[in-house]
Structure 1
Amino acid sequence: MSIQKRSREDIAKIIAQDIPEGSYVNLGIGLPTNVAKYLPQDKEIILHSENGILAFGPPPTESEEDQDLVNAGKQPITLLEGGCYMHHGDSFDIMRGGHLDICVIGAFQVAVNGDLANWYTGKEDDIPAVGGAMDLAVGAKSIYVYMEHITRQGEPKIVSQLTYPITGEQCVNRIYTDLCIIELDHGQAKVIEIVDGLSFDELQAVTGCPLMDVRH
């Protein structure tokens, strides 16, 4: 059987289905914004954006775009009934005050103990710009990482110890990749799902830390 890696859109669909009803959720800049397109319409899930928006919906059609209504990544969004705008400072109070249930965020690396690196690779030609990532890492009750399993150079992104500058310590709860879903629990990386056609041993070979198979 051939390996069917998940597309970025497929990962977003799975995350959207896994978010419990009633959750207050921040979607990080980049890949995580895809999740907004796939949230079930029969669930009440309140999306927050650090630029000062609460209760926004999926992207609008091109003809309905409003350049004054964008998320933190400057992508057009829609505002749901009851949604609101707020001062940037109030938005960061939501992030820092423990009011977010989940933050879906991208990453360069995640360590087995839950350490997150997602803002800077340390290269001299990179422009470091942490934005609200540190606030989200320490403020959200749960952190879901949305990323591909390995780099373009074939290096593992899930590792025993970070080599990139840290964003937050021991903050990641779950990792969704194109190959699997992993729960991080007390220093253990528990594999709860693997794509069809990929064995546990093959997954371990492209992962930079020991894995535990807890699939039922």
Structure 2
Amino acid sequence: MGWSTNEMAQKVAMDIFDGAYVNLGIGIPELVADFIPEGREVIYHTENGLLGMGKVATEANQDPELVNAGKKYITAIPGAAYFHHADSFAMIRGGHIDICVLGAYQVSEEGDLANWSTGNPNDIPAVGGAMDLVAGVKTIYVITKHCTKNGASKIVKECSYPVTGKNVVSRIYTDLAIIDVLDKKLVVKELAPNVSFEELQQQTEAILHRS
């Protein structure tokens, strides 16, 4: 029931417009780059200092000085630009990045995002650039499994984990549905195959609305 991880990434890729400057978070968001439709140009930004990120490097062409924010070996497209870390964040904070795709621990019904900590004191702090991204990028998409491994909904009334940003998420892509955040309400844009609205609501803590 529902979409595979690759199908989720493909759904996000279809919604990225031609010529967009895009930052992809670590994990599932990285898959989005593999599904941009042919003929559509997307310029990828990584906050450690590269605009024009290419595909993940193969073992044969790995460069130890060319990695993304997740420390994966990558390539650069022709015309790519390298710059200081501070300049990279100036691009983010200045509103020059069009779309950011991030993972999430929780998203609230008002579009609040929690994606950097579960609040466990034993976890390593990992806020990275997330707070800057959600504050400075024009559009925030979240891609995540609808529920945790324990079956708890990630789409909640209020975030119980430390919040990365308030009212920042525009759209949520899960294995069960695509959900827009409109006027602090969650509106179901598309249901995954074999998923009814009623079944989706049963697996969602927050209140959903039909489009």
Give the TM-score, by structure 1 length.
0.95
Match of 2:143 in 1: 146
1:11-65 superposed Cα distances (whole Å, 9 cap, x missing partner):
1111112100111110012221111222234111111000000011222332122
Partner SS for 1:58 = strand
Q: What pairs with 1:29-44 in structure 2 (closer than 5 Å)?
A: 29-44=26-41
Partner SS for 1:16 = helix
Question: Where does the alignment leave 5 or more consecutive residues of structure 2 unmatched?
Answer: none
Aligned length: 211
Match of 2:158 in 1: 161
Q: How far apart in 1 are the matches of 2:63 and 2:7?
A: 27
> Partner letter of residue 149 of structure 1?
H
Give the TM-score, by structure 2 length.
0.97
- Runs (4 or more) in structure 1 with deviation over 6 Å come to none
Deviates more, 1:31-40 or 1:78-87: 31-40
> Partner letter of residue 20 of structure 1?
F
Question: Where does the alignment leave 5 or more consecutive residues of structure 1 unmatched?
Answer: none
1:85-117 superposed Cα distances (whole Å, 9 cap, x missing partner):
100000000111111110000100000111100
RMSD of aligned Cα (Å):
1.0
Q: How far apart in 2 are the matches of 1:35 and 1:43?
A: 13
Q: How far apart in 1 are the matches of 2:12 and 2:196?
A: 22
Q: Give the superposition deviation at 1:154.
A: 0.5
Does the CA-based 8 Å contact 1:37-1:59 persist in structure 2?
Answer: no
Q: Give the superposition deviation at 1:124.
A: 2.3
Percentage identity across paired residues of the two chains = 51
Does the CA-based 8 Å contact 2:3-2:193 persist in structure 1?
Answer: no
